[in-house]
């Protein structure tokens, strides 16, 4: 199985440089351009199935990539970005001012800390792990996943033996495309391409 893992194009919130996961925003002009560029890279591939996060920015990216294809598309909430709860829509400098104690706790234990009304990276990893376990039971040749940077880093961690300590060891720019191979019971990252 070849798993094509795509981050959505640049969004309105990316411009603001704030924490956002559950904020449902659209692509900006650059993100639309990125998606059209990625469409060219993927146009010759026949996908057995497409999985997409329910977020507007991922669905808009997918709509540009495949408007005329007859694809089996499944929305899956497990592919959502990490939910930053009360931190949503705020910059790091704002968080330091508004939540100094919580920011210190986050710095000291980034995997287990959950912002107020949000989720931790361990919770993100658990839902991604559940998704990947289900996916690897399928008999697909080519599958496309359109998701978010946090979800993609969690998938990379899953591929590398479930080691969440590797989460921040990967860059993940808008419209980055990774190809993950699943062969003979083994998973590996074959390539990561920047848009």
Domain definitions of the chain by residue range: 2-193
Q: What is the pLDDT of residue 17?
A: 84
Tokens coding 170: 């990967």
What is the average pLDDT across 154-168? Answer: 95
Averaged confidence pLDDT in the chain? 94
CA dihedral 56, 61, 63, 68 (to 10 degrees): -170
Stated pTM of the model: 0.94
C-alpha angle 189/39/195, rounded to 5°?
A: 55
Residue 66 clears pLDDT 90, i.e. is over it: no
Residue 72 clears pLDDT 90, i.e. is over it: no
Q: How far apart are CA 141 and CA 56, in angstroms?
A: 27
C-alpha angle 80/83/85, rounded to 5°?
A: 155
Tokens coding 16: 């603001």
Q: 3-state DSSP helix/strand/coil percent for the chain, to nearest 5?
A: 45, 20, 40
Question: What is the CATH superfamily name and number for domain 2-193?
Answer: Phosphoglycerate mutase-like (3.40.50.1240)
Q: How far apart are CA 23 and CA 127, in angstroms?
A: 19
Tokens coding 87: 């931190």
Q: What is the pLDDT of residue 67?
A: 63
Residue with tokens 């710095």: 107
Contact 31, 11 (CB under 8 A): yes
């Amino acid at each position: 199985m070849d798993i094509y893992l795509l981050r959505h194009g640049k969004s309105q919130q990316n411009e603001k440089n704030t924490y956002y996961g559950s904020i449902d925003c659209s692509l900006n002009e650059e993100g639309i351009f990125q998606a059209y560029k990625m469409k060219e890279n993927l146009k010759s591939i026949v996908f057995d199935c497409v999985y997409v996060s329910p977020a507007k920015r991922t669905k808009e990216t997918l709509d540009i990539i495949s408007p005329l294809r007859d694809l089996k598309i499944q929305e899956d909430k497990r592919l959502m970005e990490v939910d930053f709860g009360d931190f949503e829509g705020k910059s790091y400098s704002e968080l330091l001012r508004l939540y100094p104690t919580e920011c210190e706790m986050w710095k000291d234990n980034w995997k287990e800390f959950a912002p107020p009304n949000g989720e931790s990276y361990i919770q993100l990893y658990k839902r991604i792990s559940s998704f990947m376990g289900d996916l690897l039971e399928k008999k697909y040749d080519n599958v496309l996943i359109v998701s978010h940077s946090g979800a993609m880093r969690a998938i990379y961690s899953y591929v590398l033996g479930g080691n969440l300590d590797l989460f921040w060891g990967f860059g993940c720019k808008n419209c980055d495309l990774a190809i993950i191979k699943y062969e003979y019971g083994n998973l590996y990252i074959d390539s990561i391409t920047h848009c």
